[in-house]
Amino acid sequence: MLPRDSERNHRTGESESKTHEEPKSETKKLKNLSEYAQTLQLAWNGLLVLKNSCFPTSMHILEGDLSVINGLLKDHSSGGKLTQLKIAQRLRLDQPKLDEVTRRIKQGSPNGYAVLLATQSALGSVGAEGTFPVVEPGLQRRLLRNLVSYLKQKQAAGVISLPVGGAKGRDSTGMLYAFPPCEFSQQYLQSALRTLGKLEEEHMVIVIVKDTA
């Protein structure tokens, strides 16, 4: 009798722990980077655009200040967050250029920068404002891994000047850098690497820095 009872209790305990204590056991069960991203705070969900392609992307905050993201990714017409970010420039992954980005991050610390993990967004998921952005006519929706392999091939990061459309009045200005997997980006994913063992899924590390006066 006793063993069966304890077995039953064990089973119900198990099902309860799955519902109530998920965050505690989450680290053991994470299988990939998308699952790891779910443990981080969602900062942005929308479309990254390059030429005629758009890539549904979710960005989760790894470190830095969320207010930098909210301030620099603001859509002035709606007052909400931008749902589309167009990559117009590239930054070669040369050491002097990377040193410059590192310098800007240090200059912006602690509350003038943010580092984010960008992963493929589920196509049906909603954006920050409750609806997934509509793809503009002429843009082809593609998977984020296509953008990652393009940047890897070019050995470059994508660059976006912020705010989109230029600063108005006393707005803050800044830059967004979208890094494909490289030595520079991996330094921000040490915790993910420890948790998962290896980072097989295509991803990007996004660095947003506010210009200092």
Domain containing residue 96: CATH number = 2.40.290.10
Q: What is the arithmetic mean of pLDDT over 87-100? A: 96
Evaluate the omega torsion of the peptide bond into residue 181 and state whether it is cis, within 30 degrees of 0: no
Q: How far is CA 130 from the centre of its chain?
A: 18
Reduce the DSSP state of residue 56 to 3 states and report it. strand
Question: What is the model's pTM?
Answer: 0.80
Residue 125 or 194, more confident:
194
With 0-12 / 13-18 / 19 or more C-beta atoms within 10 angstroms meaning exposed / middle / buried, residue 13 is exposed
Q: What is the arithmetic mean of pLDDT over 207-212? A: 92
Q: What is the arithmetic mean of pLDDT over 187-208? A: 91
In a domain, 1, yes or no: no
Residue numbers of the domain that contains 153: 33-122+132-210
pLDDT in tens, 13-46: 444 444 444 444 444 578 888 899 999 999 999 9
In a domain, 24, yes or no: no
CB 68 within 8 A of CB 113: yes
In a domain, 152, yes or no: yes
pLDDT in tens, 131-158: 566 778 889 999 999 999 999 999 999 9
Summary mean pLDDT of the chain: 83
In a domain, 63, yes or no: yes
In a domain, 198, yes or no: yes
What's the structural domain count of the chain? 1
In a domain, 19, yes or no: no
